[in-house]
Amino acid sequence: MNNLAFTLKGQGLTNRAISLMENCCRLQTVVLGPQHPFTISSHEALATWQLEAIELSK
């Protein structure tokens, strides 16, 4: 899911990428735990994408 979200983001489909990454983060937190490196990096990417989307909407 993480890789697909990055692919969607790279294709300019930011809203779809954010939605998919939100689901990915939720699942990673449950399955891997909140302190797992994959979970942390996914949350960081999601936060960055969300901030970029806010900046672009201004």
- Please report the pLDDT score of residue 7 as a whole number: 98
Q: What are the tens digits of pLDDT across the range 7-55? A: 999 999 999 999 999 999 999 999 999 999 999 999 999 999 999 999 9
Q: From CA 3, how far away is CA 53, in angstroms rounded?
A: 19
pLDDT of residue 52: 94
pLDDT of residue 4: 98
Residue range(s) defining the domain that contains residue 36:
2-57
Identify residue 42 by its one-letter amino acid code.
S
Q: What is the pLDDT of residue 40?
A: 98
- Structural domain count of the chain: 1
Give the phi and the psi of residue 12 in degrees, each rounded to 5: 85, 10
